[in-house]
Amino acid sequence: MKTIILTLIFALSALFSFAANSDSLKRDMEDYDYLVSFVENNYAPFDAIMQKGYKREYKALKKRLRKQLSSGKVGLEKAANDYVLWFYGQFDRHIQLESDTFLVAVQIQGEKAIVKLDSTLLINPGNFEIAPMPVSCKVDSQTWLIRVPSCEPGFYDSTVNALQQFLVSDCENLIIDIRWNGGGGDNVWEGYYDLLYDHPYKPEVQWFRNTPKNLLFWKKLLELQPSSVFNRQLIERCETSKEKFVTLGESDNNRQPTSRIKRAAILINFMTGSAAESLVKFVKNYSDRCKVYGICNTNGCDLTGNCRTEPLPNSHLGIFYATTVDSGFYEKNFSYEGLGIAPDIIIPLPMERKLTDNIDEWVLWVAEDLKKSPCASI
């Protein structure tokens, strides 16, 4: 009798375990399908990526990951990570999965990039002190340095004040150091745009992918800035439009050159991203006197923006993604140019090992190069 009872207990336990696992897998599959559908219908550059010839590769990826998830070979987080990393690694560093394992995968990519940039690190790893701080000071009698570690609101005043300090100095050359600047708000650069502008250029158009989910981004901004006429009018325009994409605006082309500055340089590295890349893109388009210096491309958030997070329904993992895409995305050859913006001038030095409030070797090298470079006519 005891044997029969134990057998029944084991059978019921196995049945409940199977049911629980079945429910768990069902929820995971729902989340994966939601993620795929959401990206396809809301992620701003998705259509452009498909138009660039990646449709077959993409279809194979999502089918393979779904099969692995349904068979139990991988869990939801692994499948979602690999799905998002496909976009992140090739096209746009704005898109991310808000999970610890995704951050680890990104960190591994970053470490590989560092070693690739400076192979001496394999022989002599050494110590690094990378904690950039706001800097505004003379490098030499001709050159002023402004270091901007971030475009987040907390750095806005120091960035504006630094420009004012340069303007009252007797320096004619300017170095703007945005290494390790991951972005924030690009309004911090407004005074810098005016100073570096040299000539008109084809304006870059920005498109908003007009969906109810994406519109939540602008509605949230309107809550924070209820007096914003632009945000209010954009929301009204999107709600009444049946267009898939709504033009957000063109880059400002109504500026006048100034003779205050002779030569300028922007210092970048592989972590220069998002709003920091806005300054790089501006000087590439509109400035003759300013050149971009570095040893590699910027991070690769330069062609998308206005991001928000959408949670998956069951696991609540968040997909962080861009609601707008720039016209430059359609023109860029990612397989050839890679992600980000390339420097105009390669600095023949190894990576910095210390970057705080100091004047490092990169700054000194660029300061000397600016003295040698001919002044562009304006």
What are the structure tokens assigned to 287, written together? 């400035």
Contacts 24+ apart (CB under 8 A), 160-165: 160/188, 160/191, 161/136, 162/134, 162/135, 162/136, 163/191, 163/192, 163/195, 165/136
pTM over the 0.85 mark: yes
Contacts of 248 (CB under 8 A, 6+ apart): 206, 207, 208, 234, 306, 324
Span 26-78, pLDDT tens digits = 999 999 999 999 999 999 999 999 999 999 999 999 999 999 999 999 999 99
Q: Report which secondary-structure segment, H or E, holds 223.
A: helix 212-224
| Res. 116 pLDDT band, cuts 50 70 90 | confident
Residue 366, pLDDT score: 97
Amino acid identity of residue 346, one-letter, is I
Kindly tell me if the per-residue pLDDT of 17 is higher than 60: no
Kindly tell me if the per-residue pLDDT of 1 is higher than 70: no
Span 250-285, pLDDT tens digits = 665 677 777 788 999 999 999 999 999 999 999 999
Q: What are the chain's domains?
A: 144-304+324-346 (3.90.226)
Round to whole Å and give the CA distance between 233 and 227.
Answer: 11
Q: Percent of the chain having pLDDT more than 70?
A: 89
Give the chain's mean pLDDT.
89
Say if CB 237 and CB 208 are below 8 A apart: no
Round to whole Å and give the CA distance between 96 and 310.
Answer: 11
Round to whole Å and give the CA distance between 158 and 377.
Answer: 31
Q: Percent of the chain having pLDDT more than 90?
A: 74
What are the structure tokens assigned to 229, written together? 């006429």
Span 118-141, pLDDT tens digits = 766 655 667 789 999 999 999 999
